[in-house]
């Protein structure tokens, strides 16, 4: 399954706005921010649930995008390019702020265990599902979490993910397989089975 394509009019609008921003038009870049801020925020929310950290990462993403605008090529979709920058910001955040891959574990409370509300259970809301997915992903090392997020949640093609990390496609496949195995182990440890 591939990520939904951007409507052609949005791609054309992005092209016009990006070219104007490349020429120094700050208003055009403000429009780019308004158009894509929610997408970038949703993507980076998978790296941290702290509002302050999330706002910092979103701001850093757009600062880097502004600085890198001269390198953007019109033959590549702008949103994919922006998501790549956001993924790098998220990865750097994880590497900088996590001493251990288990530092963000959520502990069971009187209301139950966070895994009791994992996606797919009856009666859960989308926000409960997202919380469950984030909890499970928080058990993984940052690189595994980022790889699986880009592959399965962002639905980026494997060759693009490989290029993002500077890996060969074969290495990306192997790392994805191993990350899935670690994820399966974590799920099994918490009493979940994969079909």
Residue with tokens 């939904």: 4
Residue 43 tokens, joined:
């993507």
Residue-by-residue DSSP string for 144-156: HHHHHIIIIIS--
Which two three-digit tokens encode residue 39? Answer: 């997408």
Contact 83, 40 (CB under 8 A): yes
CA–CA dist 92, 161 (Å, integer): 16
**pLDDT digits over 136-182, tens only?**
777 788 778 888 888 887 778 888 888 777 788 999 899 989 988 88
Structure tokens at 168: 């060969």
Burial grade of 4 (CB within 10 A; 0-12, 13-18, 19 or more)? exposed
Segment 66-90 shows an average pLDDT of 89
Could you give the CA distance from residue 82 to residue 6 in angstroms, rounded to a whole number? 13
The two structure tokens encoding residue 101: 């891959």
Place of tokens 């950290």: 53
Which segment of 3-17, 18-32, 56-70, 94-108 scores lowest on mean pLDDT?
94-108
CA–CA gap between residue 164 and residue 158 (Å, rounded)? 10
The span from the CA of 141 to the CA of 101, in Å, is 5
> What is the mean predicted confidence (pLDDT) over 56-67?
95
pLDDT in tens, 23-55: 999 999 999 999 999 999 988 887 777 889 999
| Domain architecture of the chain: domains with CATH | 1-100 (1.10.1740.10), 118-195 (1.10.10.10)
Tell me the Ramachandran region of residue 62: left when phi exceeds 0, alpha when psi lies from -120 to 50, beta otherwise. Answer: alpha
């Amino acid at each position: 399954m591939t990520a939904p394509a951007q409507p052609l009019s949005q791609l054309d609008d992005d092209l016009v706005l990006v070219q104007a921003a490349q020429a120094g038009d700050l208003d055009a870049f403000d429009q780019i921010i308004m158009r894509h801020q929610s997408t970038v925020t949703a993507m980076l929310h998978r790296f941290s649930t702290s509002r302050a950290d999330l706002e910092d990462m979103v701001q850093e993403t757009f600062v880097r995008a502004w600085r890198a605008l001269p390198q953007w090529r019109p033959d590549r979709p702008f949103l994919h390019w922006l998501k790549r920058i956001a993924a790098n910001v998220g990865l750097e955040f994880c590497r900088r702020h996590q001493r251990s891959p288990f530092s963000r574990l959520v502990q069971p409370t009187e209301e139950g265990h966070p895994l009791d509300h994992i996606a797919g259970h009856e009666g859960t809301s989308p926000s409960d599902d997202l919380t469950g997915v984030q909890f499970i992903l928080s058990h993984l090392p940052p690189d595994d979490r980022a790889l699986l997020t880009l592959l399965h949640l962002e639905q980026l093609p494997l060759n693009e993910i490989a290029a993002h990390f500077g890996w060969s496609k074969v290495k990306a496949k192997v790392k994805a397989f191993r990350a899935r195995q670690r994820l399966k182990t974590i799920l099994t440890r918490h009493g979940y089975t994969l079909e």
